[in-house]
Each structure stands twice: as structure tokens, then as C-alpha cells.
Amino acid sequence: MKLYKRYISAASALLLCGNIMAQNDIKNEDFNPVNTGVTTLSITPDARGSGMGNLGAATDPDVNSQFWNPSKYPFAYSKGGIAVSYTPWLRKIVNDIFLANLTGYWKLGSSEVWALSSSFRYFSLGEVTSESDINGDPLQTINPYEFAVDVGISRKFSERFSGGVVVRYILSDLSFDNTLSGESNTAASAFSVDVSGYYVSYPMIGRSECQFAWGFDISNIGTKVSYDHGTTYAFLPTNLRLGTQFMFPVADYNTLSVGLDLNKLLVPTKPRQKDYDMDTIEGQTEYEEATEKWENMSPIEGIFKSFSDAPGGFGEELKEINVSIGAEYAYNQQFFARLGYNYENAMKGGRSYFTFGAGFSLNVVQLDASYMLATAQSSPLDQTLRFTLSFDMEGIGDLFGKRRR
């Protein structure tokens, strides 16, 4: 089915296509990634975070914090902002798949303790021929897509700590009807919630004031999705992100930030036949019972189960943790240079890559770009580009106010 082939090579490149190089490094029977539905929710939308190796839980607040940690918004320098990002996805393979993201925030009241934020992301799989006649001529052409829209509220509880909650609606439309084979697929929808926290302090090292921050974000805690009329269900990519960042001045008008993020999918691992003695009735029964339990498991139960269900025990659980390290150099908050590295164990996907990025800010507008360089040439994620254009809404308001005067 061409639709499924394209979906696997596009949205699921995060999990399946990106694993091509991983399978070259380990035995196929050891390959055991965590499977989820709507994998596009895990794709980094903005150029700044991706330029630092997919880092953002505790980085300096910016307009794109909705994806990383919306609790940072009350600590943002500007009262409000809006940004649009664009990513041509898997451009080495196809030219009509992309991710577009629009996000913004606004601080509420004169005290600016509260912040309201929102984002809209749209992932297009391009034009797909889902049905052909005996001569190979297309009979049905569809345009599958996925989108998510969310609204968040965050609050500063003290001069150093804030928390936030985001509510999200998700739609994954891969629906089709194949009149020749009788196959059909439906659109899947879900609701989810994010919970986050952010802490920042300003220690003095020598004569310099530095910034130390840490943060967490548990994203996509929500309902399951089904593409086959409710026969089977898939978990959302519920993710735990923990991060820290240290920023310090290196000279007048020059600062350097270094950060670390740890990510783990809070999704239970699906049972595998190889972990059971399928040559015996007892083993077959155990496997069937484990599979049925996994299929009927609630998302909340799955979150707790995800910390202890790996077939390889605690050692395999540690392999499910993805590591992102990155740095950002800033000159006078006008020019930015970034680099980073993202590591994923080969057993869990092997999507490891270096990232580079740059940004330029002029008054109320900032343009950022990033570039991904995979560690394996066979990776479909290699040479991924991202672009983000951000606007300082408070600065724009001040400019118009000055013109009126």
C-alpha cells in the first residue's frame, strides 16, 4: 500500500526509517524500539532547539517554548511573541512532505505572572496514490496529513520557579477506501495534556553573574488512537524531558550557554515472540496474555509500566533514554551560533546526529536556521533543514506607538 509506505518513510522515520543504520550495528533480534502512534508529535518544530541537538527543557525562554517547556514563558523578556517554522521533511527522499508550525504567547496582566500560549502544527504527507488499476494507473489520490492544536497556561509561583499546563487536540487523517482489496482506514483523533516546570537562578561566579536553570516537561499524556475502526489502538508518544542549562558571559556583550536534555518515552514496550518459548503451549499462552494486556493497558498505567517493562531489564530501560547536548553563543543578543549532538541507542532506533544552527535578530524580528548531519549516511534524516521566523509583539506594539506620537 503506497500510503503506508509513505507514512512509514515520513512520519515514522522517527522510529522506523531512521532505524536503517541501527540495524547494521546490532542483530535484528535485539532491535526493540518503542512503538507509538502519531510519531510526528515528536518532531522538533523550531530551528533554535534543533540547532542545539534537540535541546530546550531549560534553555533561555523564547517564543517557541511551547514545544519544549511552556513553563518558561513567564520568565520571557518580552511580553509576547509569535513565530512560524517550516521543515521540509525527508527532503533526500521526497520533495512534498513538510512540517509547519505556528506558535505564540502573551503575558497576562501588569504583573506578568501568568502567560497564555498556543501552537498549531501541521504535517503534510503530500499527495499519495492509494489505489491503482491493473495497468498501474492511479484511481484514487489522497492527501494524508496530521495536525495538533493546543492552548497552555503557565504561572510564575516565585521569582525562580514556574509551572504550566497545556491541553491539546490531535488529528491524524490517513483515511482511505480501497475498492479493489476492500481495505479501509479511518482518521484517528485524540486529546492530550502536558505538565511542566521551570527553575532559574543567577549565581555569581567571580565578578560575573551567570544563569543556571533546570526544567521538566511531560508531554502528550492522552488517549490512544486507532486507524482501523477501533480494532487496535496505539499509544501517543508520551515523553518525559528533563533538562538543565548554564549560561555565562565570556566578554562584554558575549555569552555562552551549554545544556543537557534527557528524553524517555513513557510508553510500554510491546511483547515480542522471541522473549517467550513459542515451542511450548505455556510460552504461547504467556505471549498471548502479555499481548492482550498490552493492548488493553490504559495510557496512565502504560506510563508507570514504561519504567520497568523492557525485556532486557534495567539495562535496556537505560537504553531508552535519548541524550541531547548543545551550546549557543550569543553576541549582544543579535547574532547566535549553535551546535549540538543527539544520541539514541542503536537498539532503540539509532537516530544519532550532529546539528548546527545560526540566528540573526534585528529589532523585533529574528530569523533562525538549523542543519542536521546524521552519523550514518543511510539515515533519511540526514541534511534536514529548519527555518523559524519570530516576531516580538511587544516591540512591534512599541514601534507603532512611537509612530502615532
pLDDT at 379: 72
Nearest in space to 60 (alpha carbons), one of 51, 47, 49, 45? 49
Residue with cell 536556521: 369
Alpha-carbon span 139 to 152, nearest angstrom = 43
pLDDT at 26: 52
Give yes or no for a contact between 354 and 341, defined as CB atoms under 8 angstroms apart: yes
Joined together, the cell numbers standing for residue 160 give 525562580
What is the rounded end-to-end Cα distance, in angstroms, of the chain? 63
**Length of the chain measured in residues:** 405
Query: SS3 sequence, the chain?
Result: CHHHHHHHHCHHHHCCHHHCCHHHHCCHHHCCCCCCCCHHHHCCCCHHHHHCCCCCCCCCCCCCHHHHCHHHHHHCCCCEEEEEEEEECCCCCCCCCEEEEEEEEEEECCCCCEEEEEEEEEEECCCEEEEECCCCCEEEEECCEEEEEEEEEEEECCCCEEEEEEEEEEEEECCEECCCCCCEECCEEEEEEEEEEEEEECCEECCEECEEEEEEEEEEEECCECCCCCCCCECCCCEEEEEEEEEEEEECCEEEEEEEEEEEECCCCCCCHHHCCCCCHHHHHHHHHHHHHHHHCCHHHHHHHCCCCCCCCHHHHHHCEEEEEEEEEEECCCEEEEEEEEECCHHHCCCCEEEEEEEEEECCEEEEEEEEEECCCCCCCCCCEEEEEEEEHHHHHHHHHHHHC
Residue with cell 492509494: 130
Q: Tell me the domain boundaries of the chain.
A: 2-269+306-404
Give yes or no for a contact between 70 and 164, defined as CB atoms under 8 angstroms apart: yes
Give yes or no for a contact between 119 and 69, defined as CB atoms under 8 angstroms apart: no
Cβ-based neighbours of 30, under 8 Å, separated by 6 or more: 347
Joined together, the cell numbers standing for residue 173 give 487523517
- Could you read off the pLDDT tens digit of each residue along the chain, which spans 405 residues? 444 444 444 444 444 444 444 444 455 567 888 989 899 999 999 999 999 999 999 999 999 999 999 999 999 999 999 999 999 988 777 788 899 999 999 999 888 899 999 999 999 988 776 655 566 555 667 788 999 999 999 999 999 999 999 999 999 987 665 555 556 677 889 999 999 999 999 999 988 999 999 999 999 999 999 887 778 889 999 999 999 999 999 988 999 999 999 999 999 998 888 888 888 888 888 889 888 899 899 999 999 999 998 888 899 999 999 999 999 999 999 999 999 999 999 888 888 999 999 999 988 999 999 999 988 766 777 788 999 999 998 888 776 766 555
Joined together, the cell numbers standing for residue 337 give 551560533
Supply angle C-alpha 134, 129, 95, rounded to 5.
135
Q: Which amino acid is at 389?
A: L
Full-model pTM: 0.88
User: Partners of 386 in the beta sheet?
Assistant: 370
Alpha-carbon span 293 to 190, nearest angstrom = 21
Supply angle C-alpha 329, 335, 340, rounded to 5.
35
* Bridge pairing between strands 353-362 and 184-185: unpaired
Cβ-based neighbours of 34, under 8 Å, separated by 6 or more: 15, 265, 267, 269, 306, 320, 348
**Alpha carbon of 83 to those of 9, 13, 86, 91, 397: distances in Å?**
28, 26, 10, 23, 16
**Alpha carbon of 334 to those of 74, 84, 143, 255, 337: distances in Å?**
22, 19, 40, 11, 10
CATH for 2-269+306-404, among 3.40.50.1440, 3.30.43.10, 3.40.30.10, 2.40.160.40?
2.40.160.40
Give yes or no for a contact between 40 and 99, defined as CB atoms under 8 angstroms apart: yes
